[in-house]
Amino acid sequence: MMHENYWNMSWGVWLFFLLVCLMIYFMFKNSSPLSGSKAKETPLDILIARFAKGEITKEQFEEIKQGIA
């Protein structure tokens, strides 16, 4: 009888541990800078990224940069 109670308690502890781990994972998933979620970017950050991707020319970059500042 004692042996059956031990296994039931063991499954409960493992289930609780799994739930705690999942909660911690989902809490920090969105706050991690490496998770792929975008942090609040400034207009200058976006402009630099567009220039780096080749979406805008250097002249356009300088013109827009003057408008941002």
Residues 27 and 43 placed together within one structural domain of the fold: no
Residues 26 and 54 placed together within one structural domain of the fold: no
Residues 17 and 44 placed together within one structural domain of the fold: no
- Taking only the tens place, the pLDDT of each residue in 11-63 is 778 888 899 999 988 888 766 555 555 568 899 999 999 999 999 999 999 99
Residues 28 and 43 placed together within one structural domain of the fold: no
12 to 9, 26, 65: CA distances (angstroms)? 5, 21, 59
Round to whole Å and give the CA distance between 9 and 67.
65
Residues 2 and 28 placed together within one structural domain of the fold: yes
Residues 7 and 28 placed together within one structural domain of the fold: yes
Residues 20 and 6 placed together within one structural domain of the fold: yes
What is the structure's pLDDT at 10? 77
43 in Cβ contact with 68 (< 8 Å): yes
60 in Cβ contact with 67 (< 8 Å): no
pTM: 0.44
> What spatial distance separates the first Cα and last Cα of the chain, rounded to whole Å?
76
- Counting the structural domains of the chain, the total is 2
The boundaries of the domain holding residue 42 are: 38-69
What is the structure's pLDDT at 38? 58
